[in-house]
C-alpha cells in the first residue's frame, strides 16, 4: 500500500489527477491509440469540478468572496453540481439557475448538496440560444437582487488554470507522445485551457473542437436546437476565438447518443452524450492521422447523471 501521498483534508483534495485509459474494443485498426481522460473520477463525477474550484478559489483570493458569502451561477447542470459540492464544503450559499432541458439527476444532485435551484422552462426539453440567454438573465437578476459573487462561467477566465493543470496531467501520462486533442465545446474553457498548455509543450499537436450539428454556430451555421447536455450554447461563446482549435467537427445528437451507448456496452465506460461525441470524433481523427498516432479526448462525466434520459 502506497502511503507516500498525504491524506486528503477534504473531498476537494480529490479533484484532478484522473486516469487516462486506452480504448480497447472501440479502438482504430491502424495501430493508433485513443486515450480517454476519465473525468468521472472527480468527486461529483464530472470534469467541471476542476473549473468550479478554480473560480471559487480565485474569488476568495481577490476578496470578492468572503466567509459565509453567496455564489450565483447559470448552468446545464454539471457546473452547478460541482459548485454545490465546493460551496457545501466551504460554507457558501449557492443560487443555481438551470432548466428542465437538462437531466433531472443533475438538478436533484445540486439540491442534495444544498443549492437553491431556480428552473427555467425550455422548448420541449431542447437546448436553444434563447434558453441560454434566459438563464444568464435570471442569474443576473438574482445577483442584482441578493448580492453575491456571480461566477459567470461563459466569461470567467479564472477557470482556464484548471485546464492547464489537466493538460499537464495528460502530457505526463502520455510521456509527451500526443498527436491530437479532441473536446466538445460548451463554454470553450476546457478546450481552450487544455489546448493552450499542450501547445506550450508541442505546438504541432492538432486541436479539434466539436459542436452539435443541429446548432453549429462556431462553424458559421444558423443556431438551432439539440439535446447534447451542457454544450452548444446556440451562439459563439465569449471564451471561444478562431485560434482555439485547428478544426471543428460536427456531431448530431443521434450520433452522440449512439456512441455513448457503444462506449458503455463495448468498453464498460458509462458516460453522457458529450463524451459520445468526443469518442466519435477521436475515431474520425484516428482514420485521418498517420498510423500509430495518439489521440486524447475526455470522458466528461458519468452516465449516472443521465439515467432518466
- Residues serving a catalytic function are 48, 274
Instruction: Count CB neighbours of 242 within 10 A.
Output: 8
DSSP state of 140: H
How many distinct helices (H) and strands (E) make up the chain? Answer: 8, 10
Rounded-to-10 torsion of CA 51, 78, 153, 243: 70
Whether residue 208 contacts residue 245, with contact meaning beta carbons closer than 8 Å, is answered with yes
Instruction: Count CB neighbours of 6 within 10 A.
Output: 7
CA–CA separation, 184 vs 23, rounded Å? 18
DSSP state of 241: -
Q: Is 176 exposed, middle or buried (0-12, 13-18, 19+ CB in 10 A)?
A: exposed
CA–CA separation, 154 vs 136, rounded Å? 9
173 Cβ contact partners less than 8 Å away, ≥ 6 residues apart: 20, 35
Amino acid at each position: 500500500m502506497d502511503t507516500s501521498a498525504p491524506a486528503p483534508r477534504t473531498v476537494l483534495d480529490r479533484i484532478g489527477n484522473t486516469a487516462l485509459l486506452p480504448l480497447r474494443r472501440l479502438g482504430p485498426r491502424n495501430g493508433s491509440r485513443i486515450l480517454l481522460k476519465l473525468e468521472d473520477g472527480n468527486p461529483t463525477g464530472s470534469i467541471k469540478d476542476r473549473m468550479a474550484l478554480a473560480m471559487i478559489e480565485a474569488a476568495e483570493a481577490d476578496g470578492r468572496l468572503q466567509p459565509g458569502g453567496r455564489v450565483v451561477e447559470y448552468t446545464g447542470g454539471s457546473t452547478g453540481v460541482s459548485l454545490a459540492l465546493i460551496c457545501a464544503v466551504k460554507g457558501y450559499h449557492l443560487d443555481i439557475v438551470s432548466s428542465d432541458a437538462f437531466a433531472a439527476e443533475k438538478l436533484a444532485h445540486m439540491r442534495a448538496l444544498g443549492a437553491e435551484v431556480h428552473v427555467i422552462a425550455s422548448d420541449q426539453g431542447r437546448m436553444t440560444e434563447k434558453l441560454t440567454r434566459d438563464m444568464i438573465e435570471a442569474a443576473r437578476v438574482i445577483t442584482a437582487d441578493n448580492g453575491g459573487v456571480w461566477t459567470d462561467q461563459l466569461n470567467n477566465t479564472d477557470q482556464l488554470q484548471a485546464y492547464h493543470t489537466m493538460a499537464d496531467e495528460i502530457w505526463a501520462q502520455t510521456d509527451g507522445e500526443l498527436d491530437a486533442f479532441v473536446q466538445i465545446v460548451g463554454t470553450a474553457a476546457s478546450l481552450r485551457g487544455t489546448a493552450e498548455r499542450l501547445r506550450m509543450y508541442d505546438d504541432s499537436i492538432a486541436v479539434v473542437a466539436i459542436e452539435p450539428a443541429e446548432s453549429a454556430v462556431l462553424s458559421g451555421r444558423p443556431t438551432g436546437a439539440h439535446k447534447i447536455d451542457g454544450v452548444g450554447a446556440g451562439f459563439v461563446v465569449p471564451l471561444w476565438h478562431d485560434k482555439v482549435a485547428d478544426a471543428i467537427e460536427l456531431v448530431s445528437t443521434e450520433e452522440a447518443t449512439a456512441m455513448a451507448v457503444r462506449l458503455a456496452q463495448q468498453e464498460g465506460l458509462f458516460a453522457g452524450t458529450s463524451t459520445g461525441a468526443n469518442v466519435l470524433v477521436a475515431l474520425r481523427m484516428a482514420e485521418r492521422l498517420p498510423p500509430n498516432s495518439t489521440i486524447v479526448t475526455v470522458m466528461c462525466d458519468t452516465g449516472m447523471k443521465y439515467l432518466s434520459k
